[in-house]
Structure 1
Amino acid sequence: MRFFSDNAAPACPEVLAALNAANVQDTAYDGDAWSARLDARFSELFGTRVAVLWVPTGTAANALALASICPPYGGIVCHREAHIQVDEAGAPEFYTHGAKLLLAEGEGAKLTPDTLRAVLDPIRKDVHQVQPHAISITNATEYGLAYTPDEVAAIGKLARKRELALHMDGARFANAVAFLGCKPADVTWRAGVDLLSFGFVKNGGMSAEALIFFRPSLIETARIRRKRAGHLQSKGRYLAAQLLAMLDDDVWLQNARAANAGAAMLAGAAGERLLHPVEANEVFLRLSAEEAASLRKQAFDFYDWGEGAARLVVSWDQDAAVVQPLVDAIAAL
C-alpha cells in the first residue's frame, strides 16, 4: 500500500473521460477549442480576469513563472526548503538564465514578513549585490502547512511595498484551499499574488498543470518561453481537456478533500509523533528505524524523512478503507 507520493496516484475518471472526448482532430498547439476556454473558465473560478497557460509539469510551471518576473541578474526570495530550491535541479536558475534564489527561514517551510525582511534588509542597493525582484511561497508548504489569506496578504503587502512580484507554487493548492475553506481568490490575487502554479497532477490529473497569470500582461513573453523551453505540445488539447474536466463540478476540490480526509485519519493515529500540524494531505511523523521497518514489513510504502522521521502522503483515490490499515498499524507501534 503506497503512501510515498501523490504523484504516483492514478488519473481520476473525469480526466480519462475528458481525454477520450478530446481525441478528435482539432487545431494544433494551443489553438484548439479546449485551450481557448481556459482563460474564461479560470477567470470564473477566481472571480477576476486571468490568463492561463497549460504546462506538463509543476517544475515547468514554476520555472516559467519565475522567468516571467525576474531578470537573469535578479534574485527570488524563497524558503530554504522550497521545492524550487531543493527539488527542481536548478530549473528556476536555468529558465531565468541565472537569477539567484535568496534563501529565507521559517517554521514548517512557511515564510513571514519578518523572515523575508531578514533576507531583504541587509541587501545594499548597489551594483555589487543581487537585487531581489520576486518572492515565491508554496501553498500548501513542503511540510503540508496552509498559508491563510491573512498570511498571504501580509506577504503581499510587503511585496508591493518593496516592488517585488509574488509567485505561489501551488502544487498542492487544492489541498490548501480544501483545508482553509476559503475562495481561491482569497488566498491568491486578493492577497497580492501575481502568478500561481496551480497543481493538478498530484490531485487526479495525468499530465497537465495550469500557470495562472493574475497580471495577464505577463503571459505574452511566457508563451514564447514555453515554446523555447520545449513545452508547447503539438496536441495541447489533451492538457487543456484535463484542466477543464477537473474544474467541472469542482472535481479538483472534491479530490483534495478526499486526500486531506485520509491524512487527518493518519494524524489522529500519529498523535504526539507528529512533527507538524496536518493541514493538507501530507503527514510528517517520528518513526524509529525499527518502527519504519515494521510498517514496511506490513507492505506500507513511504519515504524516510531524515533520521527518525517519515513522510506519508495520501492520494485522492485512497479512501477510508484503504487508509484504515495504516492507521491501525501506526496506533499499534
Structure 2
Amino acid sequence: MNFLSDNIVGASVPVLEALMRANDGAMPAYGGDDITRRIKARFAEVFEREVAVFLVTTGTAANALALSSIVPPYGLCMCHKEAHVIDDECGAPEFFMHGAKLAGLPGVGSKLTATAVSAYLEGLPKAIKQMPPKALTISQVTESGLVYGLDEIAALSAVCKAHGLSFHMDGARFANALVTLGCTPAEMTWKRGVDILSFGATKNGCLMAEAIVVFNPTLAEGLDYRCKRAGQVISKGRLIAAQLEGYFANDHWYDNARHANRLAKLLGDGLSQLPGVRLGWPVEANEVFPILPAALNRALKEQGVLYHPWTDGSLPANERVGEGEALVRFVVSFATREEDIRRVLDIARSASARQAAE
C-alpha cells in the first residue's frame, strides 16, 4: 500500500499499447515523424487554438525550459515558497534561466493570491539594483493538494498583465485539476490569461512524457534550441509522442484523473471521520493531507502503509500540528485500487478503536 506519490507506478495499458505500436519499424528521428506531427495537432484540438508544443521527458525539464523562455538572466520570477520549481528541482529553473532568481511568496494551501502578488510587486524597489519581476508561476494542483479556481487564475493573470509579467502554469497534475473544476483545458489556461504551460502526463498514466505548451507565440521563439541544448530533443522522439497519443485517446487521461480523485476523496472522507484526525486542507484532487495522532501514524506505518511526512508552513492561520500529531501526505494514482483504500481505512479504524479502548 504505497501512497508516496503518483509517479511511483508504471504506465497505463493504453499508453503502453500506443508505445508498442510506435516501436515497430523505422521513422524519422528528432520529432520529424508522423506521430509527433499528429500529437502536436492534437494539442491544438485539446486547447481549441493553435499552440506551440515542445515534447520533453520530465516535469523539471518542462518547468525549467518554460521559465527560461520568459525570464531573462537579470529577471525575477515569483512563485509560492513551497512550489515545486523552487523546492524540488535542484535549482534547475534558475540554472536554465542563467542566473535569474525565483522569489518564493507565502500563501495558505501553497496558493498565491492576486492581492498578495500585487502587494509584493508594489513593494519592490524600482532601482537598477533590484532584479525586475518578469514572470509568475503557479502550481496546478498546488503542493498542498488545492486547485486554483478559474476566477483565481484570472485574477492572477490580471496582476501579471498590469505589471507586464508572463504567466506560467506548472500543470504536473493538470488533468486532476480539470476534473475537479469540470472545465475545458482552454478555460483553465489561455482563456484565463496563462501564457505558457508545463503540461504533465507522467503522474497520470504516461511512462515519461511531458510537454511545454505555449499560447503566446512570441514566447516560443528559441524554445526548440533551448530544448536541444538541454538534451530534450530526443532522437526517438516518436516514443514520447506515442505515449501522449495513448493518453489522449478515448479521454483516457480524464478517466485516470477521475479515478485518482474519486479514491482520494474516499480516503480523505474515511480518515477525517476517525477520532483525533482532521485534514490540513480539503481534498480537491488526488492528494490527502491528514493530521494524524502519533499512535495512528505509528500503526499505519507498522502495517506497511507508505506515505510522506509533510510541512505545515501553509496551513490555515487557525490550524496547527500539535504535540503528538503528524501532518502527512497520501497521494492516490490512476493505478490505485479501491481495495487498497479500504484496507488502509480498516487498519486506521482498528488502530483508533484499540487506542480508544486503552
- Report the TM-score when normalising by structure 2: 0.91
Give distance in 2, aligned partners of 1:145 and 1:330.
Answer: 24
Q: CA deviation at 1:290?
A: 3.0
Structure 1 segments of 4 or more deviating over 6 A? none
Within a 5 Å distance, the mapping from 1:250-265 to structure 2 comes to 250-265=251-266
Secondary structure of 1:126 counterpart: coil
Report the equivalent of 1:30. Answer: 31
Native 8 Å contact 1:74 1:99 kept in 2: yes
Cα separation, 2, equivalents of 1:192 and 1:18: 33
| 2:330 corresponding residue in structure 1 | 312
Instruction: Tell whether 2:222 aligns with 1:221.
Output: yes
1:291 is matched with which residue: 287, 296, 308? 296
Task: Report the counterpart of residue 239 of structure 1 in structure 2.
Answer: 240
Contact residue 174 and residue 199 of structure 2 kept, 8 A:
yes
Gaps of 5+ in 2: 312-324, 353-358
**Residue 301 of structure 1 pairs with residue 302 of structure 2:** no
Partner Cα distance (1:118, 1:66) in 2: 22
Question: What SS does the corresponding residue of 2:234 show, helix, strand or coil?
Answer: coil
Query: Residues 331, 181 of structure 1: CA spacing in aligned structure 2 closer, same or farther, 3 A cutoff?
Result: farther
Count of residue correspondences: 333
One of 319, 327, 330 as aligned partner of 2:345: 327
Would the alpha carbon gap of residues 241 and 217 (structure 1) be closer, same or farther in structure 2, given more than 3 Å must change?
farther
Instruction: Write the distance in 2 (CA, Å) between the matches of 1:292 and 1:204.
Output: 29
The 3-state SS of whatever aligns with 2:123 is coil
Whether 2:113 is the aligned partner of 1:112: answer yes
Rounded Cα–Cα distance in structure 1 between residues aligned with 2:338 and 2:191: 35
Residue matched to 1:19: 19
User: Retained in 1: the 8 A contact 2:265–2:283?
Assistant: yes
Check whether the contact 1:267–1:278 (CA below 8 A) recurs between aligned residues: yes
Whichever residue aligns with residue 160 of structure 2, its letter is A
Deviation at 1:216, TM superposition (A): 2.9
Q: Tell me how far 1:137 sits from its aligned partner.
A: 0.4
Deviations 1:63-83 (A, max 9, x none): 000000000000001000100
Unmatched segments (≥5 aa) in structure 1:
none
- Distance in 2, matches of 1:331 and 1:222, equals 52
Per the TM alignment, residue 123 of structure 1 is displaced from its structure 2 partner at its CA by 1.2
- When structure 1 is superposed on structure 2, of 167-176 and 314-323 the one drifting more is 314-323
Preserved CA contact (<8 Å) 2:299 2:348: no
Q: Does structure 2 retain, via aligned residues, the 8 Å contact 1:134–1:166? A: yes
Look up the match of 2:6. Answer: 6
Give 1:211 shift: 1.0
Query: Does the 8 A contact of 1:269 with 1:330 survive in 2?
Result: no
Distance 1:329 1:10 in 2: 26
Alpha-carbon separation, structure 2, partners of 1:311 and 1:331: 18
Task: Give RMSD over aligned pairs.
Answer: 1.2
Pairwise CA distance, 1:242: 0.6
CA contact (8 A) 1:55 1:211 kept: yes
Give the secondary structure class of the aligned counterpart of 1:42. Answer: helix
The letter for the 2-side match of 1:21 is R
Once the two structures are TM-superposed, the CA of residue 331 in structure 1 deviates from its matched residue by: 3.4
Please give the residue correspondences for 1:94-105 in structure 2 after superposition, counting only pairs within 5 Å.
94-105=95-106
Amino acid at match of 1:122: G
| Sequence identity percentage | 47
Q: 2:43 aligns to what?
A: 42
Q: Which amino acid aligns with 1:322?
A: D
Distance in 2 between residues matched to 1:68 and 1:331, nearest whole Å: 50
8 Å contact from structure 1 (residues 11, 204) kept in 2:
yes
Report the alpha carbon displacement of residue 236 of structure 1 after superposing the two structures with TM: 0.5
Between the aligned partners of 1:256 and 1:78, the Cα distance in structure 2 is 25
Tell me by how many angstroms 1:215 deviates. 1.5
Displacement of 1:309 after TM fit?
Answer: 1.3
CA distance in 2, matches of 1:87, 1:158: 26
Distance (whole Å) between structure 1 residues aligned to residue 176 and residue 143 of structure 2: 12
2:295 is paired with a residue of what secondary structure? helix
